[in-house]
Each structure stands twice: as C-alpha cells, then as structure tokens.
C-alpha cells in the first residue's frame, strides 16, 4: 500500500474544531427548540441559545478560514485505488459540507436578525455581535424570519444526513477497504 498523504496541521486542527462545534450545535439546537417550550427548562434554554449563537458564529469564522486555507493549500490527492465515482462523490460531499458549514450559520444570523424578540447576541459573553442591519430593519421581517427559520431547520437536518454519509465513508475506508485513509485527517 502506498504512503498516505496527510492534510497539513492547520487543516487537521480546523477540521476537528469545526467537527466538534457542529456536533455540539446540532445537539444543542435539537435540545433547545424543545426545551424552550417547557417552563422548567426555559431559563436554561435561553442560556443555551446564546451559546448556540456564539458557537454558530465561530463555525462560520472557522469555516471561512478553512475554506481560504484549502484554496491556498492543495489538499492531498485521493488514493489511486478509489474509483472515479468514489472520487466524484468525495469531491461533491466536501463541497456540500463547506456550503452547509458556511450557510447554516449565515442563515442563523439572519434568523436572529429578523427575530421579533430583538435579543442581542452576546458572543461568549465577551461583546455584542451585531444583527444584520438591513434584515433587522426590513419591512417584511416576519416573512424573512419564517424563511430563515425554515431554511435553518431543513439545512441542519440535511447536514446531519451529510455528516452520517461522511462518517460512514470514513469508516468504510478504515474497516472495509482497510486503506487507512482516515490517517490523512488525524493529528
């Protein structure tokens, strides 16, 4: 078996930071939507919403940096034993993951900016992150909020499916193909 090329350290670190943040985001998002409806958990849910918004913005920042890094630093070539279909699928899924890692937080920011509650986003309690002013002041704020809410939910569920496929592919390579491809993204 040929030597496996690895991603550079920055790409590896960004991959795992973003992966952990997304898992926390998906878990907290599913929990808080239910918890806000329950009087006993509502206070905690409001705190989790702030954390969720801060972490979502962090995913956006790290993902934009990761995309920039990937453009400037060529990723390792996929192994020659992979079929053209597998390589095409890997390429499409990576592009979709980037799309979702950037657009879900942007849509979440739009959702917060159009909320009738007007709660500020306190970025990890360090400073107030501004709302998107043209959305906050839009005359059709209610309709925009409904659109962002629907889009945020649908894209989050689609991201869960993408992550399942991504992890399944990694496990397939590791345990069925036994090509140790996972080493490319390990520290």
What string of DSSP letters covers 73-93? SPPPPPPTTS-HHHHHHHHHH
List the domain boundaries for the chain.
9-185
Q: What angle do CA 49, 52, 54 make, to 5 degrees?
A: 110
How many beta carbons lie within 10 A of that of residue 46, not counting itself?
13
Task: Note the pTM of the prediction, 2 decimals.
Answer: 0.93
What's the pLDDT at 4?
62
Query: Over the stretch 41-100, which tens digit does the pLDDT of each residue have?
Result: 999 999 999 999 999 999 999 999 999 999 999 999 998 899 999 999 999 999 999 999
Q: What angle do CA 53, 59, 62 make, to 5 degrees?
A: 140
- Residue 71 and residue 94 in contact, taking contact as beta carbons nearer than 8 Å: no
Q: What is the CATH number of domain 9-185?
A: 1.20.950.20
Query: Over the stretch 121-143, which tens digit does the pLDDT of each residue have?
Result: 999 999 999 999 999 999 999 99
Residue spans of alpha helices (H) in 36-120: 42-72, 84-113
């Amino acid at each position: 078996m040929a030597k496996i090329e690895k991603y550079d350290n920055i790409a590896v670190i960004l991959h795992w930071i973003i992966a952990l943040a997304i898992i926390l985001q998906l878990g907290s998002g599913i929990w808080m939507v239910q918890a806000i409806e329950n009087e006993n958990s509502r206070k905690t849910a409001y705190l989790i919403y702030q954390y969720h918004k801060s972490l979502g913005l962090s995913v956006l920042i790290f993902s934009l940096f990761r995309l920039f890094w990937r453009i400037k630093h060529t990723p390792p070539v996929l192994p020659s034993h992979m079929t053209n279909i597998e390589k095409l699928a890997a390429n499409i899924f990576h592009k979709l993951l980037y799309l979702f890692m950037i657009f879900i937080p942007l849509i979440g920011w739009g959702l917060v900016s159009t909320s009738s509650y007007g709660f500020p986003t306190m970025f990890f309690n360090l400073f107030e992150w501004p709302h998107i002013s043209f959305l906050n002041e839009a005359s059709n704020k209610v309709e925009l909020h409904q659109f962002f809410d629907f889009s945020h939910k649908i894209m989050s569920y689609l991201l869960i499916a993408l992550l399942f496929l991504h992890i399944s592919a990694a496990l397939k390579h590791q345990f069925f193909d036994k090509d140790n491809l996972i080493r490319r993204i390990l520290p």
